[in-house]
A = this chain, B = another copy of it.
Amino acid sequence: MILLITGGARSGKSSYAEGRVAALPGRPCYIATSEIRDAEMAERIAHHRARRGPEWREREATFDLVAALTETDGDGPRLVDCVTLWLTNLVLTDRDWQAELNALLAALPAQQSPVIFVTNEVGLGIVPENALARAFRDAAGLVNQALAAAADEVQFVVSGLPLKVK
């Protein structure tokens, strides 16, 4: 089962995702895509960890999501939080995000345990002035479309509440 949870910043996506994961059998695994680049991010991570509780397994996957999914398969649901940070990591290090996305899409059908992806909608504001930001939001939109097409279920979270879009 592939579930994609999308929404804006601080829309309650992660909290909703954790609730969905908790309702699934098996020991859950949190796959963190964040590189801890600054104090702001460190604080967020600590906050999320405290909320989840000790029964969660944890794994970092700043670049290689396929390896993380393969290695954690079979024991319980995996929560990938979040896709947009993973894409940020790839773009900032000049990796080929399209190739990485294709590899991820190819690996999904083989997954035995559920995969819950959290991602961000970033294309609903005014057009960014700088070209890099425009390119990033294009990439983020394409990644979201591809994962939504591959997912069994897609939820758009607004103010903490899910709207089912697939």
Q: How far is the CA of A154 from the CA of B127 in the complex (A)?
A: 23
Task: Verify B126–A11 contact, CB threshold 8 A.
Answer: no
| Shortest beta-carbon distance from A79 to chain B in Å | 18
Docked complex: A8-22 residues within 8 A CB-CB of B: 8-12
- B10:A158 contact, CB within 8 angstroms: no
**Contact of A11 with B136 in the complex, beta carbons under 8 Å:** no
Interface status of A40 (Cβ within 8 A of chain B):
yes
A8–B158 alpha-carbon span in the complex (Å)? 12
Q: How far is the CA of A140 from the CA of B6 in the complex (A)?
A: 18
Oligomer copy total: 3
A159 and B4: CB pair below 8 A? yes
A142 on the B face (CB < 8 A): yes
Instruction: Report the count of interface residues on A (CB-CB < 8 A).
Output: 42
Give the contacting residue for A10; candidates B7, B123, B161, B162; CB below 8 A.
Answer: B123
Q: A159 contacts B154, CB within 8 Å? A: yes
Stretch of A23-31, A104-112, A145-153 with 4 or more beta carbons under 8 angstroms from chain B? A145-153
Task: State the CA gap A148–B162 with chains docked (Å).
Answer: 11
A121 touching B124, Cβ below 8 Å: yes
In the complex, 20 of the A-B residue pairs with CB atoms within 8 angstroms, ordered by the A residue number, are A4-B159, A8-B122, A8-B123, A9-B123, A10-B123, A10-B137, A10-B141, A10-B142, A11-B141, A121-B124, A125-B126, A126-B133, A148-B158, A149-B160, A154-B158, A156-B159, A159-B165, A161-B165, A162-B165, A163-B165
